[in-house]
Homo-oligomer: A and B are copies of this chain.
Amino acid sequence: MQATIALLPGDGIGPEVVAEGVEVLKAVGERYGHSFSFSEGLIGGCAIDAHGTALPEATIDVCRAADAVLLGAVGGPKWDDPKAKVRPEQGLLGIRKTLGLYANLRPVTVTPALASRSPLRPDLVEGVDLLVVRELTGGIYFGDKTCVYIRPDEEQAVDTCVYTTSEIERVVRRACELARTRRGKVTSVDKANVLETSRLWRRVASRVVAEEFPEIQLEHILVDACAMHLLRRPADFDVIVTENMFGDILTDEASMLAGSLGLLPSASLGAGKAGLYEPIHGSAPDIAGKGIANPLATILSVALLLRYSLGLKAEAEAVEKAVYATIDAGILTGDLAPAGQGRSTKEVGAAVLERLG
């Protein structure tokens, strides 16, 4: 097949890890006879430096013209002032919203080789294989925001959390479709004992499952309880579906099950086939430019890209197998290797390519 992939390397370690992702895409293209072409755009801090905005129009055009987007990371100390009008994460939030990518998939799989790296007891995390589907274009992230003086010395800040029936329906539907290809279980997470948006969420989730997915086993749990159960019984979860802010917190918590952020990919999907793929980790300015960042989360994001946007299932599985074989062979960057034995970004990338053979 022919496909165009838009690359948004971004800031910090973004360019280094995206470079390894591109190598994997090229290798897959060669070995399986696909022709992938690449376009590139600026996003985040580097876009602010070049164009004064975190999401230039040209970047949006590049993404719209592509079959899928591979993103590195955005942000860094240079652009960190929360009072600034222009901030790197506006690029990330903007591209998600502009492309209508309402479903953010964050799988967490704990391989036996890595169970001992988790802060949790190995017996608890072994066999964990869960998928968080986070709503990505609604909720308190995108509602009205204000901050005004209501008296001298007294400011009042307001954020608004909004959800509509159809926003909830589509992401719950996506979660159920994914659960159908897995263990058939969906855990919907809300705070229905306090929030109106959560009460609507719970009603809509129940109805969608009852009407459209009678074979799915649905449970509702409160977000605070979920934060506990993720630690107490992580292997029980199959698909978790939740709203934007809860998903942000719970996925970062869940990422610790796998021991390192450096392994966790994500896919952000909308109505069509196009999607945006990015590692969960940030731009890690402290190690940027040193060639030691872990490229595996980005390479696993490439696997998701092959699967969800290009429909290349065998290729996706081959990439995932190559990554796990690399981990099993102990070829790891410093975040996962025993002290002093960390390999470089390029060495780990090359080890994956070798195993893709």
Residues of chain A at the chain B interface (Cβ within 8 Å): 82-83, 87, 89, 93, 119-121, 124, 140-141, 143, 145-147, 150, 153-166, 191-197, 199-203, 223-225, 227-228, 230-232, 245-246, 248-253, 255-256, 261
Contact = CB atoms under 8 A, between A and B. Distances in A.
Contact of A223 (B119, B124, B193, B249): B249
A192 B214 CA distance: 41
Contact of A164 (B155, B227, B232, B245): B155
A153 B124 contact: no
A120 B87 CA distance: 36
A36 B5 CA distance: 73
How many copies are assembled? 2
Contact of A231 (B89, B120, B146, B202): B120
Contact of A228 (B93, B153, B156, B256): B256
B261 A228 contact: yes
A227 B228 contact: no
A44 B230 CA distance: 28
A122 to B, nearest CB: 8
A248 to B, nearest CB: 5
A255 to B, nearest CB: 7
Contacts of A256: 228, 231-232
**4 cross-chain pairs, A with B, having the tightest CB-CB distances, nearest first:** A157-B200, A224-B252, A227-B253, A145-B196
Nearest to A261: B228
Contacts of A161: 140, 158-161
Nearest to A123: B119
B228 A195 contact: no
22 contacts: A87-B193, A89-B194, A93-B194, A119-B231, A119-B232, A120-B121, A140-B140, A140-B195, A153-B165, A156-B162, A156-B164, A157-B196, A158-B197, A160-B161, A191-B245, A191-B248, A224-B251, A225-B252, A227-B253, A228-B261, A230-B253, A232-B256
A87 B222 CA distance: 15
Contacts of A83: 199, 203
A35 B124 CA distance: 48
Contacts of A89: 193-194
Contact of A157 (B119, B163, B232, B253): B163
A158 B250 CA distance: 22
A124 B141 CA distance: 33
Given A147-B200, A195-B140, A250-B227, A164 B154 contact: yes
A227 B227 CA distance: 9
A150 B147 CA distance: 27
Given A119-B121, A248-B224, A199 B253 contact: no
